[in-house]
Structure 1
Amino acid sequence: MGAHEHQLHQGESLKKAAREQLTSRGEQWTGMRESVFEALAGFDRPASAYDIAEAVSKNQGRRVAANSVYRILDLFVGANLARRVESANAYVANAHPDCLHDCIFLICDNCGQAVHIDDDALSGGVRKAAASAGFSSARPVIEVRGTCGECDSN
C-alpha cells in the first residue's frame, strides 16, 4: 500500500478541521481547547506541554497550568488532532486530523525538527511483525532519530 494522499491543512483550515474532528466525536471545542490547539499549531517543531502552557499563558495574560494542557493534549491525541513524539515527550499538531493512520517521525537530533511521513506499508509491516510475535498493537510508534538534510549540509 505505501504512502497515501490526504489533504494537509494549515492556519484557519487546520483549526476548522480540528474543531470538526473533535466535535464529531461528541466533544466540545472550548475556548481553552482552541487556545491550546492554536499554540500547538504555532510551533515549528515538537512542543512540550510546558512550552504550550507558556505560550497560552502569554497570549491570555494569565497563568495556565501545564497539567491542564496535558489533559487537553491527551484528548487531542485520542481525537487525532495531535501526535505525541514519544522520544521527545512533545507534541505536534496533526495537519490532517480527518485521516487516521500510523505515522512515522524523522527527528533531527541537532535542531529538533520533526518531519512526519506516512507509509502504511512500513507501519503495516510493524503491525504484522507484532502480530506474528503474539502482540497486538493499537498504534505503532515509529521514530527515526538522526540529522535532517538542512543540518547535515551545514
Structure 2
Amino acid sequence: MTSTTTLTAALPAGHRERLTRIAREVSVDEGTRLFDEGRRADRFWIIRTGTVTLDLRVPGRRAAVIESLGHGELVGWSWLFPPHRWHLGAEAMSPVRAWEFDADTVRAMGAQDPEFGRAVAHWVGNVAARRLHATRVRLLDLYGPCGSGSRL
C-alpha cells in the first residue's frame, strides 16, 4: 500500500468527508466474491478491516492472484472509466468490513463539482496505474521465463 492510494492521503479533507457521508457500511464473509472480471462495475469499497485479493483470469490456468489489499485501500477502480466493466476480480480472503459506495452517485457528485471530480479521478487513476503495474509484475513472476526481475 502506498500513501497516495489510500483515501486519507489521496483526497483533501473536505472531499474525503463528502465522500464518506454517502458511504454504506457493509460486512463481507470470507470467500465471498465482490466482483468478477468483465461484469458491470457499479460500486466500489474502502476496506476498514480484513483482506481482499485481486485476481485475473488466465486462459487455461487458475486465476492469478495479483495483489492483496487491506485497511484503507480502494477495492475497485473500473467504475470510474467507461465502459464500467471490472478489469480484475476480487474476493474476501477474511471477513471484511468496508465502506461501500454507489458508482453512479459518486460520478454524479463529480459532474456537479468539477474540483471534487478531479480529485477523485486523480486518486482512482493513481490506484489504477499502481494496480496495472502490479498485474504486469505478478504475471511476469508467474509465467515469464525468468520472472520480472522486480519485486513490489
Above 0.5 in TM-score? no
| Higher helix proportion | 1
| Higher strand proportion | 2
The structure having more radius of gyration, on CA atoms, is: 1
| TM-score of the two chains, using structure 1 as the length reference | 0.30
Question: Relative contact order: is structure 1 or structure 2 higher (C-alpha 8 Å, sep ≥ 6)?
Answer: 2
